[in-house]
Amino acid sequence: MVTEIIFYSISFLLLLCAIQVVTVRSVFSSALYLAGALSMVAALFVLLGADFLAAVQILLYVGGILVLLVFAVMLSSVQQAKLYAQVNEQWVPSLIVCLGLFLLIGIGLKRVSFVEGTVLHAPTTKGLGTLLLGGMILPFEVVSLILLASLVGAILFSRKT
């Protein structure tokens, strides 16, 4: 019962933040609401027992990508932002499409039967670490070399000559 209350409160906060992301006029405020929405998704991952996904969500999205977005907003020209309208004029067709998607999702959820079961929540980080640094060490290192090469390439392309 307590888990359900926590789940519904986190889900309500997630929906509230997500609605604010697309309805607030200020880009900076929208980015802060996006941080809240991404944090609520991480909280849902914690409730589901996916601790590794929650840590990746916080570190990668909230800590990395969103910080870059906030810096880009803060470094952009305030005068230039005032010249352009922040509101899309096609909100009526967007609303119709969204309502149609909600209707399709509702129909799909009515047709599916959900079976309640008990799930043992065990930490997933140890198993993933053992897998990545055990049997999957070669693909893990190949991906790290590809990422290193792309980082070096980005540095070389961004150099001023």
DSSP string, 30-76: HHHHHHHHHHHHHHHHHHTT-HHHHHHIIIIIIIIIHHHHHHHHHHS
Q: Is the pLDDT confidence value at 161 over 80?
A: no
Domain that holds residue 44: 1-86
Report pLDDT digits (tens) over 119-143: 777 777 888 888 878 888 898 899 9
Q: Establish if 94 belongs to a structural domain.
A: no
Helix (H, G, I), strand (E, B) or coil at 119: coil
Top-confidence residue, 75 or 8: 8
Q: How far are the Cα atoms of 56, 69, 123, 145, 148 from residue 140, in angstroms, in the given order? A: 17, 28, 21, 9, 12
Please state whether the predicted TM-score (pTM) of the whole model is above 0.95. no
* Count of domains forming the chain: 2
pLDDT digits (tens, 9 = 90+) for 59-111: 988 888 888 877 777 777 665 555 555 567 787 898 899 999 999 999 999 99
pLDDT tens readout for residues 17-70:
999 988 887 777 888 899 999 999 999 999 988 888 899 899 988 888 888 877
**82 plus 126 within the same structural domain:** no
* Domain C-terminal end among 86, 106, 140: 86
Is there a domain that residue 155 lies in?
yes
In a domain, residue 5? The reply is yes
Last residue in a domain, options 42, 70, 86: 86
